[in-house]
Structure 1
Amino acid sequence: MTLNMLGAYGDWAAASLPDPPRLSFRQPIFQNVESWRPVARARYRELLLGPAASPPPIAVVQHRLEFDGLAIEHLHWQLPYGPPTEALILKPAKATGKLPGVVALHDHGGNKYFGLRKITRMSKDPHPLMIQHQNHYYGGLAWANELARRGYVVLVHDTFTFGSRRMRLADLPGKIRNNLVEENPESPEEIQKYNQFAGAHEHLIAKSLFSAGMTWPGVFVSDDQRALDYLASRPDVDATRLGCAGLSGGGLRTVMLTGADERIRCSCCAGMMTTWADYVLQKSYTHTWMCYVPGLPKELDYPEILGLGAPNPILVLNNRQDELFTLSEMEHADRILREVYRKAGASDHYKANFYDGPHKFDAPMQKDAFAWFDRWLKG
């Protein structure tokens, strides 16, 4: 027995994972990707157990501005559940006609107080904590702005439990929030306290959603699909050229959204690729409760959720020293996706890059991601 998350139970639990899983395109019974994908995608959507379908959101523009060569719209919309969603649209200030659209998905980062502000910039004086965040994970760049500058309409929105969609302390019983209250919510000290509370609150959110017959991924995928509804509806967006991308929790959302929605034509998952076996044995302790869909590992391995987009192009960006994953399992996930795309007759539509360094989506990685979108959404 090797040391693992489940001790003496680890080998038994890992052995329960079928290889390949029942609905894997690697199964010999599946030969045609176009006939396999609807079946596998339907089962994936079923297991997500998301909230009831809702109509596309009606977005209200709060204000418009220009910043650093970009036209920016600050929006909000109301979903049938929770507080209003805040969102930004970013595009080149002088752009005309229809442009490709990308849903830029913010990360988790142990920071639920913030959402869209993690990957955008609207002024020369963003919150100091967001400067630190972008320096740490993104090479000092607001990558959604950088992508928009290249000729895209980029939508960034807060998703379930983050930013404008976060749990409000006043809505929770005192014993759940340890009697924490909001007094000066933008202060770094209060943000730190909120994020500590939010991290400790995750298991209660997951258990409560399970008890309601839903999963956490089901809720954030629904949030992200409603954002995609809005992006696709805009007159300045070519709805046949839509993509999504994100780091870490945003990479998770990229995997899940690509798997769920056929409108996504090109994807880039950064810093969020491994196998279910890696979660079982080594790394579930490093990850949020947002990752897990009961029953899904019997049907598809984790990388195969992203592979539901085949033969549409997908790019996976990995960091060799990423503390959130085991390198051998990142490489295993790469082999799985290469096999899926080879069998689909679309080997050139899949690419994985490995970079030196820890968990990040820095300037060189962004350069590769943007070139990927340029190739497949603008070509």
Structure 2
Amino acid sequence: MNETIQPVRPSAIPGYEDWPDWVRQRPRYQASGPAAQELSDALGVPVPSAPEDLQVHGEDTHDGVTTSRLSWQLGFGPRTTGWLVRPAGSVEPLPGVLALHCHGGNKFGGADRLVELPHTHPSAAAARVGHYDGHALATDVARRGFAVLAHDGFAWGSRRFDLADPPWRTASAVDARKAQWREDGVEPSEADLYNAAAGFHEDTVAKASGLLGTSLAGMVAHDDLAALEVLAGLPGIDRDRLGCLGFSGGGGRSLILAALSPRIRTYVVTCMMTTFQSLLPAYLDAHSWLLQTPGLWKLGDWPELTTRSGAGSFLVQYALADPLFPEAGMRDAHNKLKSLHSTGAYTGSFWPGGHVFTARMQQEAISFLSAGLGTGGQRPQNRPTFQPLSL
């Protein structure tokens, strides 16, 4: 009697097989007030893991800043890598900023696109050129007198899923992409192959998240809240002066983090503001699961979520030719934000150009953070000898 041997199905969550048990046993994040709690519950944010085994893997001082590569372990999945960037030789407590990387269709890397490093991976360099006007955002913010932590979010960079042996549905889609590359005479890089797989796999991650009672945005918020605690606990950080900023998907993360954590005093959202109504029907496919958590609209429109934050001030930057948002939706969001917040709490600025965090926009964002967090915004002069980070 011949028995049919069934092929072994690859894991649908490779590298995160410990995630389901962890999240099912985890209570919900308890926010500081009812409005923030509603958002936490809607996203299904687990109580942030206390970062364990925090390590410093090396430091480099160049062009006025010191960059330290850190890592820590959360309760599931691979270790998180982050970079702390601060003015070289700083001795007084510095205001802290969490720099949140974009989605960008590039999950092979993460926060490395925001940091000047001795050896920049080509995928990070391409993201920097394509989305940040060639600038290393976190490093530039640090040069203005901040301690900046940029970390890989859930499913990006060091926290990415292991898609070397992708689940069947993802593998089938990647095979089709490979066939198109062959037809076009394209030789994909390792990052190209991973990002193609990760783009298809995001739907699977969203399915798993929903099944577990959370969401992709909720899991990313979990990692961001944990990183904020890392930043607040580092030596030389003034934990009473903390802010965050981000572009595109990072801008959405900035808004959510500010709504969930009372630690955030001021924040910046760049190229990630519109009304939900304006996304329907033509702009829905332009965005990832980071923005489109099922049922989120029941809490109110996207700009209305800003009222759930206790931050004293925030800046929203809009790009008038942004192909991901209709101009009418951005202007409607701007008008709604003006009606929701008192004078001085909300600042909105409109810029020419597409979905890019331009150098001029970055300068405005950094100046806004300087005003909100109490730094003079001047590059340090006569810097004393650098003191290494000790944990």
TM-score by length of 2: 0.81
Q: In the aligned structure 2, how far is the partner of 1:338 from the partner of 1:153?
A: 31
Specify the SS of the correspondent of 1:272.
coil
1:172 is displaced (CA, Å) by 4.4
Q: In the aligned structure 2, how far is the partner of 1:43 from the partner of 1:175?
A: 34
Q: In the aligned structure 1, how far is the partner of 2:73 from the partner of 2:311?
A: 34
Matched, 1:241 2:269: no
1:69 is displaced (CA, Å) by 1.5
Instruction: Provide the alpha-carbon RMSD of the alignment.
Output: 2.0
Q: Is there any run of 5+ residues in structure 1 with no aligned partner, and where?
A: 1-36, 182-186
Matched, 1:91 2:68: no
1:130 is displaced (CA, Å) by 2.6
Matches within 5 A, 1:68-147: 68-123=63-118, 125-147=119-141
Q: In the aligned structure 2, how far is the partner of 1:172 from the partner of 1:193?
A: 11
Matches within 5 A, 1:332-371: 332-342=332-342, 347-371=343-367
Larger helix share, 1 or 2:
1
Aligned length: 333
1:259 is displaced (CA, Å) by 1.3
* Equivalent residue, structure 1, for 2:60: 65
Amino acid paired to 1:194: Y
* Equivalent residue, structure 2, for 1:50: 45
Q: In the aligned structure 2, how far is the partner of 1:68 from the partner of 1:177?
A: 44
Q: In the aligned structure 1, how far is the partner of 2:302 from the partner of 2:219?
A: 18
Any conservation in 1 of the 2:262–2:311 contact (CA below 8 Å)?
no
Q: Alpha carbons of 1:171 and 1:50: their partners in 2 closer, same or farther (altered >3 Å)?
A: farther
Any conservation in 1 of the 2:170–2:200 contact (CA below 8 Å)?
no
Moved over 6 A (4+): none
Most deviating of 195-204 and 290-299: 290-299
Residues 118-139 of structure 1 show CA distances to partners (whole Å, capped at 9, x for unaligned) of 111112x422333332222212
Q: In the aligned structure 2, how far is the partner of 1:258 from the partner of 1:229?
A: 13
1:55 is displaced (CA, Å) by 2.2
Q: In the aligned structure 2, how far is the partner of 1:240 from the partner of 1:356?
A: 35
Amino acid paired to 2:75: P
Any conservation in 1 of the 2:265–2:311 contact (CA below 8 Å)?
no
Q: In the aligned structure 2, how far is the partner of 1:55 from the partner of 1:257?
A: 17
TM-score by length of 1: 0.83
Q: In the aligned structure 1, how far is the partner of 2:370 from the partner of 2:188?
A: 38
* Equivalent residue, structure 1, for 2:221: 221
Matched, 1:266 2:293: no
Q: Alpha carbons of 1:174 and 1:293: their partners in 2 closer, same or farther (altered >3 Å)?
A: closer
Q: In the aligned structure 2, how far is the partner of 1:374 from the partner of 1:280?
A: 37
Q: Alpha carbons of 1:225 and 1:146: their partners in 2 closer, same or farther (altered >3 Å)?
A: same
Q: In the aligned structure 2, how far is the partner of 1:83 from the partner of 1:178?
A: 26
Any conservation in 1 of the 2:258–2:311 contact (CA below 8 Å)?
no
1:94 is displaced (CA, Å) by 1.5
Specify the SS of the correspondent of 1:265.
strand
Amino acid paired to 1:256: I
Alignment partner of 1:375 out of 358, 371, 383: 371
Most deviating of 276-285 and 366-375: 276-285
* Equivalent residue, structure 1, for 2:327: 327
Most deviating of 161-170 and 351-360: 161-170
Q: In the aligned structure 2, how far is the partner of 1:150 from the partner of 1:188?
A: 38
Specify the SS of the correspondent of 1:254.
helix
Amino acid paired to 2:148: V
Amino acid paired to 1:358: G
Most deviating of 68-77 and 145-154: 68-77
Specify the SS of the correspondent of 2:280.
helix
Q: Is there any run of 5+ residues in structure 2 with no aligned partner, and where?
A: 1-31, 176-186, 376-391
Residues 118-168 of structure 1 show CA distances to partners (whole Å, capped at 9, x for unaligned) of 111112x42233333222221211011000011100000000111000111
1:51 is displaced (CA, Å) by 2.7
Matches within 5 A, 1:147-162: 147-162=141-156
* Equivalent residue, structure 2, for 1:6: none
Matches within 5 A, 1:299-338: 299-310=299-310, 312-338=312-338
* Equivalent residue, structure 2, for 1:250: 250
Any conservation in 1 of the 2:266–2:311 contact (CA below 8 Å)?
no
